[in-house]
Structure 1
Amino acid sequence: MRGHGVVRGPGPGDSARRGETRVARGRGVTSTGSGAGALARQGRRGKEEDGGRAIVSGRMGGGRRSGPDRYGSSESHSDDDCETDDEEWRRKAMQLMCSVQNSIFCTALLLSKYYLTYIDKNEARTSAQSGYGWLMETLSTPGASHKMFRMDASLFYSLHDLPVSTYGLQSSIHMNSMESLAIFLVICGHGWSNSATQNIFKHSGETISRKFEEVLNCVVGMCEDYISPIDPNFSTIHPRITGDRRMMPFFKDCIGAIDGTHIAAVPPSHDLIRYIGRSGKATQNVLAVVDFDLRFTYASIGQPGSMHDTSVLFHALKHDESVFPHPPLEKYYTVDAGFPNRPGYLAPYKGERYHVPDWRRGPAPSGEQEHFNFLHSRIRNAVERTFGVWKMKWHILLKMPSYPMDKQKMIVAATMCLHNYIRENHEEDKDFHRCDRNPNYVPTIPVRYRNSSDTLTPYSNDRTMDRFRDDIAKAIFLSRHTVAFQVAPCTAALFES
């Protein structure tokens, strides 16, 4: 028996036990068997078990592996192999650690951005009057609604019902749809900043921006229904022509006017040069077709301010062929000297007096071409008056916020739609009433936001249209001296040729 606490020398069986201990250490377990038979059995079992452990150890990619040979003895790998395995394991561990750290960092950034955008809002506004209360007070005060929302209270309610019933405008838990519409109208009407709007409506900046965009999308959806000719066939002569003996019958086939105008823009820095025109400011060149009711019937929005009016028109004719209100045979639009004189688009004579200030400062018109230009400018001022009312109602057009360009274009389209809606549904609107009382009244707007320059166009005139213009000019001039004079040439024949 082995005694506890007794030291004894090596005996005959110690060598066998030492061999057994080496085998056991090679397998990583402790064996208590003794004798040759037990050793042999352990050797066979160790060989089978070591083979399985070697496979598992190889998959793990690390650790020292040793196993018995065919005679049951153990054998270890070299120190170099062990060091290589350890280095490989450390490298993979470091890669995994770096990947985890990067994931944690990115997640933290996203969470902080979400928090700052949607959770960490400004302090609650504790004014005694809410935004909805201010809205109701404004609508009930005579004259205040037109001043703040650019329309009377009755028209405000009608406008509110339209996008709610047809174009998807909805109320939320914390804001009525009427308040959302009011936010949109005061920003477009006055060009207010987000912070100024917060002070009125007592909502956070994020809420103001979100509601503005919701209403913007709804009003843009209205454009297809409201920016189009009332009579697509242009089958009747407008009362503006029939009621003016100076215009009838010479311009009886005129159906409207076309011109371009500059709207303030904030383009991206890499595209800034294209948007800077002759004014030296970044603008977008908006081409519009208007009728004699001062309504927009078509608009090409978003072209850079450096682009010529004629190029914008030809671009619209090419890319918007299906929606552009093309003049029928025998009909035409009036255009200024910046456009070529072509079938369907009647331009004035170049090199002669044309604009209204030219006639006010100088003598009365003389000669056929000046008489023609005088009446042509009077009938074409429909587009100038339309632009004037439009820009004076919606001050955001004069100082556009730094929205993305697509959003800036949407704002231009939305204000055009609101312009038409007011014109069609409220004949007594103060801004339009001034134009209706005086056919020559043009609202005053800053110089750099007026109509595009009528510099010479690089495109040539059409000879047939030039002859047609000459015949009208001759008829106008002779009518001043002959009472019963009719326009001699057949308009249809000229256009057909």
Structure 2
Amino acid sequence: MNSEMSTLLWESVATHVINLYLDQIEKVRNELMKHIIGSERCYDIIRMGPKAFLNLCTLLRDHGGLTHTRGASIEEQVAKFLHIVGHNVRNRVMSFFFRRSGETVSRHFHRVLDALIELEDKFLKQPDGTQVPPEILNNNRFYPYFKDCIGAIDCTHVRVKVPIELAPRYRGRKYYPTQNVLAACSFDLKFTYVLVGWEGAASDSRIVKSALTRRYPLKVPQGKYYLADAGFPLKPCLITPYRGERYHLQEYSRNPPRNPRELFNNRHSSLRMSIECAFGVLKKRFPILQTSTEPTYGIKTQNKIIIACCILHNYLMSEDPNQNLIDEVRHELTIESGLQEGHQAQRENNDDTARAELVRDNVVGSMWITY
């Protein structure tokens, strides 16, 4: 009898100690969340302010299907995800701060990732071409010459983790494997289309041709076009600059355009810089997309992370744009432009090219007259 009582006593003590320990851990998590949401350093920790964070949690709950788990709130799950993509930290780091197992952190990360992907149709919308972008409409440098332009398009490289046997296919201009991501954006720096999964060795022209013809294509309304650099083919839906003429803004800083083609290239470059700026802001906000370190996720998860970060970018451009970050990126691009010329697409002699040249020449003619 004494032995049984002793066993029950020890079990009771052990249960009490465990409960105290769990209560203490829960207190640590609650204090950490209060610090994240209530601190002035909220932006430094999760890349957005408290109001934007709480609104995002509501969006993920109402439209992304994210729910509380038995031991973790929506806010905790989202905060962990944002810190991981915003600082490119490993699961074991979040495991330490939140007193969670690595498996739990990983599970929460993927829950939030999947919920963000559910918001793709809400935040990645292609333009219908019915309205002239206000950045063009309200600027006499661009209107009415570029009234049919609906955005800018370009590719960027994101580092990937692939099996050794696949590495050569993903090794393009970089010495490490990357994927070549195609994206289009509006002139307010919001992404409207993102295509992931192409090997780093794939050319921009090959990728855009696929984007225009795939099952879920890059849609360009009749008579409208995107601005693209010389790495893309000249088409009625893709207007590229004139070759053999000055193009980058830095080249015009002291010497204004001297002929119609240079004038077109100068204004084309001013507008097309929006996609480079969007990429720059995206990668500064979310270092998990930068190429300085090898990612820990496989390529399928990495593809979803790219899409999720673009969705977050668009959300923040409305909710918490951070003008200082945008200005910083624009300044860097102005300094760097012209230092490195991209690869040029091969000329294509076909009816599409001829029609595109006619569109471009008409813009040039009317622009030069009023210059």
C-alpha contact 1:265 1:284 (8 A) present in aligned 2: yes
Q: Which amino acid aligns with 1:336?
A: D
- Which of the pair has more CA radius of gyration? 1
- CA 1:305 to 1:177, structure 2 compared with 1: closer, same or farther past 3 Å? same
1:391 is aligned, of 278, 283, 286, to 283
For residues 114-133 of structure 1, what are the structure 2 equivalents within 5 Å? 130-133=28-31
Between the aligned partners of 1:351 and 1:279, the Cα distance in structure 2 is 27
- CA 1:400 to 1:156, structure 2 compared with 1: closer, same or farther past 3 Å? farther
Q: CA deviation at 1:132?
A: 3.2
C-alpha contact 2:159 2:295 (8 A) present in aligned 1: no
Q: CA deviation at 1:356?
A: 2.5
Aligned to 1:235: 130
For residues 162-177 of structure 1, what are the structure 2 equivalents within 5 Å? 162-177=59-74
2:363 is aligned, of 472, 481, 484, to 472
State the percentage of identical aligned residues: 31
Task: Please list the CA deviations of residues 307-336 of structure 1 after superposition, one character each: whole Å capped at 9, or x if unmatched.
Answer: 00010101111214x442x22222111111
Between the aligned partners of 1:193 and 1:241, the Cα distance in structure 2 is 43
1:253 is aligned, of 148, 155, 159, to 148
Aligned to 1:336: 229
Between the aligned partners of 1:128 and 1:434, the Cα distance in structure 2 is 35
SS in 1 for 2:119: helix
C-alpha contact 1:145 1:152 (8 A) present in aligned 2: yes
Between the aligned partners of 2:158 and 2:54, the Cα distance in structure 1 is 29
1:415 is aligned, of 291, 309, 317, to 309
Please report the TM-score for the alignment, with normalisation by the length of structure 2. 0.85
- CA 1:132 to 1:443, structure 2 compared with 1: closer, same or farther past 3 Å? farther
Q: Which amino acid aligns with 1:264?
A: R
Q: Which amino acid aligns with 1:441?
A: R
SS in 2 for 1:258: strand
Aligned to 2:261: 369
- CA 1:305 to 1:369, structure 2 compared with 1: closer, same or farther past 3 Å? same
Task: Please list the CA deviations of residues 441-482 of structure 1 after superposition, one character each: whole Å capped at 9, or x if unmatched.
Answer: 25569x9xxxx97312135161121122123223222322xx
Aligned to 1:161: 58
Structure 2 residue runs of 5 or longer lacking an equivalent are 1-20
Aligned to 2:343: 455
Between the aligned partners of 1:131 and 1:190, the Cα distance in structure 2 is 20
- CA 1:358 to 1:277, structure 2 compared with 1: closer, same or farther past 3 Å? farther
- CA 1:422 to 1:443, structure 2 compared with 1: closer, same or farther past 3 Å? farther
Q: CA deviation at 1:297?
A: 0.8
For residues 220-231 of structure 1, what are the structure 2 equivalents within 5 Å? 220-229=117-126
C-alpha contact 1:265 1:283 (8 A) present in aligned 2: yes
Aligned to 2:10: none
Q: CA deviation at 1:368?
A: 1.5
Q: CA deviation at 1:353?
A: 1.6
- CA 1:408 to 1:434, structure 2 compared with 1: closer, same or farther past 3 Å? closer
Between the aligned partners of 2:151 and 2:313, the Cα distance in structure 1 is 17
State yes or no: 1:285 paired with 2:285: no
Between the aligned partners of 1:124 and 1:453, the Cα distance in structure 2 is 58
Between the aligned partners of 1:274 and 1:416, the Cα distance in structure 2 is 25
- CA 1:163 to 1:467, structure 2 compared with 1: closer, same or farther past 3 Å? same
Between the aligned partners of 1:155 and 1:127, the Cα distance in structure 2 is 27
- CA 1:372 to 1:441, structure 2 compared with 1: closer, same or farther past 3 Å? same
Q: CA deviation at 1:270?
A: 1.4
Q: Which amino acid aligns with 1:269?
A: I
Q: Which amino acid aligns with 2:30?
A: Y
Question: Number of paired residues?
Answer: 342
Aligned to 1:49: none
- CA 1:282 to 1:124, structure 2 compared with 1: closer, same or farther past 3 Å? farther
C-alpha contact 1:385 1:443 (8 A) present in aligned 2: no
Aligned to 2:113: 216
SS in 1 for 2:128: coil
Q: CA deviation at 1:124?
A: 9.0
Aligned to 1:40: none
- CA 1:392 to 1:161, structure 2 compared with 1: closer, same or farther past 3 Å? same
Deviates more, 1:368-377 or 1:326-335: 326-335
Aligned to 2:78: 181
- CA 1:338 to 1:419, structure 2 compared with 1: closer, same or farther past 3 Å? same
Between the aligned partners of 1:234 and 1:258, the Cα distance in structure 2 is 15
Aligned to 1:358: 251
SS in 1 for 2:221: coil
C-alpha contact 1:385 1:442 (8 A) present in aligned 2: no
- CA 1:239 to 1:254, structure 2 compared with 1: closer, same or farther past 3 Å? same
Q: Which amino acid aligns with 1:136?
A: K
Between the aligned partners of 2:259 and 2:347, the Cα distance in structure 1 is 26
Q: Which amino acid aligns with 2:191?
A: F
Q: Which amino acid aligns with 1:376?
A: H
SS in 1 for 2:48: coil
Q: CA deviation at 1:225?
A: 2.1
Q: CA deviation at 1:305?
A: 0.6
Between the aligned partners of 2:72 and 2:91, the Cα distance in structure 1 is 17
Q: CA deviation at 1:165?
A: 2.3
Task: Please list the CA deviations of residues 14-34 of structure 1 after superposition, one character each: whole Å capped at 9, or x if unmatched.
Answer: xxxxxxxxxxxxxxxxxxxxx
Q: Which amino acid aligns with 2:78?
A: L
- CA 1:133 to 1:453, structure 2 compared with 1: closer, same or farther past 3 Å? farther
Between the aligned partners of 1:301 and 1:469, the Cα distance in structure 2 is 29
SS in 1 for 2:179: strand
Aligned to 2:168: 273
State yes or no: 1:401 paired with 2:299: no
Please report the TM-score for the alignment, with normalisation by the length of structure 1. 0.65
Task: Please list the CA deviations of residues 338-379 of structure 1 after superposition, one character each: whole Å capped at 9, or x if unmatched.
Answer: 11211111110112221233334x622211211110000001
Between the aligned partners of 1:155 and 1:343, the Cα distance in structure 2 is 39
Aligned to 2:274: 382
Task: Please list the CA deviations of residues 134-189 of structure 1 after superposition, one character each: whole Å capped at 9, or x if unmatched.
Answer: 111121112x2211111110111111112222322122222112101111000001
